[in-house]
Amino acid sequence: MSDSPIAVEEHGPELRHHFETVEQQRNAASLGMWLFLGTEIMFFGGMFCAYLIYRMNYFNEFAAGSRSLDVWLGTINTMVLICSSLTVALGVRAAQMGKRTLLVILLLTTIIFGFAFLGIKGIEWYDKYKEHHIPGTSFSADDLVRDYPQIHIDQSHEQLYFSLYFAMTGLHALHMVIGVGIFAFLTFHAWKGRYTPNYYTPVEIGGLYWHFVDIVWIYLFPLLYLIDRRPLG
């Protein structure tokens, strides 16, 4: 790669040969990540569309399904993600200021928060499994019919709620897993000292991804857990 015909200026090893300046390279990377997040909005958007339509049609079943989720675990998980977003934002700041140890610590904390989120999510899924709320042949919403006699529930429609619940939280969790992977990569390179105040683009765009996954959850939480928590008349 050293035989680039155009060596316009002196630059560090992090500048890839086809860019003219570090500035151009960083802007390109950041724009690329934002565009990718745009596609992610549409990816989740397909499910939000399904959610919106079924929620309109089957509000009772959605309300009952929502009540069966553990709202406190959901709240705690939202807080866990918000904390992780904070550590990411502080991490980017540490990278900007060249504080290597702090950066590594913050990245590691983020990963721990990520695992905490996934762990709590796992507990919730396991509860659903025990309650036979996983759509399919063994699905049963008898408990919901029993617990919420005031709500008229059609058990087959109830499956739609849980199908969407598992699809949305499942794909969100998959994004979390990928995020944890990305952050493990970042931690490793941060540990190696690759990131300097002049070059921390990977931390920055990895952070953008993490914040986006957080935002998706910020919407999933009220849409799935808080559909109708009003006291039953």
Partner 1 sequence: MFDSFPLWPARASTGAGNVDALYIFLVLIASFMSVAIFTMIVIFALRYRRRRGIEAEQIEGSTALEITWSVLPLGIFMIIFAWGAVIYFKERTPPRGATEVYVVAKQWMWKLEHEEGQREINELHVPVGRDVKLIMTSQDVIHSFYIPAFRIKQDVLPGRYTTLWFRATKPGIYHLFCAEYCGTQHSGMIGQIVVMEPTQYEAWLSGGMATGSLASNGQNIFQQLGCPTCHRSDVQGRGPNLVGVFGKPVLLEDGRTVIADENYVRESILSPSAKVVSGFKPIMPVFQGLVSEEQLNALVAYVKSLSPPPGAAGVKPREPKE
Partner 2 sequence: MATAAITAEREHYLNKDYGIRSWLLTTDHKRIALLYLASITFFFFIGGFFALLIRLELLTPAGDLVQADTYNKLFTMHGMVMVFFFLIPSIPAVLGNFLVPMMIGAKDLAFPRINLLSWYLYIIAGIMMLHCIVTGGADTGWTFYTPFSTAFSNTKVVEAGLAIFVAGFSSILTGLNFVVTIHRMRAPGMTWSRLPLFIWAHYATSIIQLLGTPVLAITLVLVVFERVFHLGIFDPTRGGDPLLFQHLFWFYSHPAVYIMILPSMGVVTEIIPCFSRKRIFGYHAVALSSIAIAVFGFLVWAHHMFVAGISLYSALIFSILSYLVAIPSAIKVFNWTATLYKGSITFSTPMLYAFGFIGLFTMGGLTGLFLAALGIDVHVTDTYFVVAHFHYIMVGGAVMGYLGGMHFWWPKISGRLYPEWLGKFAALIVFLGFNLTFFPQFILGYLGMPRRYWQYPPEFQVLNVLSTAGSTILAVGYVLPMVYFLWSMRYGRIADDNPWGAAGLEWKTSSPPPTYNFEETPEVTWEAYNYDQIPAPVEVSVER
Partner 3 sequence: MSEHIMSSKLYYGIWITLMILTVVTARVAFIDLGPFNTVVALVIATCKALLVILFFMHVKYASEKLTKMVIISSIFWLLILLFLSLTDYSTRALGHG
203 binds, among partner 3, partner 2, partner 1, none (CB under 5 to 8 A by kind): none
Asked if residue 83 binds partner 3 (CB under 8 A), the reply is yes
Task: Tokens for 30, please give them.
Answer: 């950041």
Choice between 4 and 45, CB closer to partner 3:
45
Do residues 60 and 153 lie in contact, with contact meaning Cβ atoms separated by under 8 Å? yes
CA distances for 73 relative to 17, 32, 68, 69, 118, angstroms: 49, 35, 12, 9, 12
Beta bridge pairs of residue 199: 196
Distance from CA of residue 24 to its chain's centroid? Answer: 29
Q: How far apart are CA 109 and CA 95, in angstroms?
A: 15
Site pattern 153..182 for partner 1 (x: CB under 8 A): xxxxx-------------------------
Distance from CA of residue 226 to its chain's centroid? Answer: 19
Choice between 31 and 123, CB closer to partner 2:
31
Choice between 11 and 100, CB closer to partner 2:
11
Give the binding range for partner 3 (CB under 8 A) out of 24-32, 148-156, 158-166, 179-187: 24-32
Give the binding range for partner 3 (CB under 8 A) out of 21-29, 107-115, 121-129, 139-147: 21-29
Asked if residue 69 binds partner 1 (CB under 8 A), the reply is no
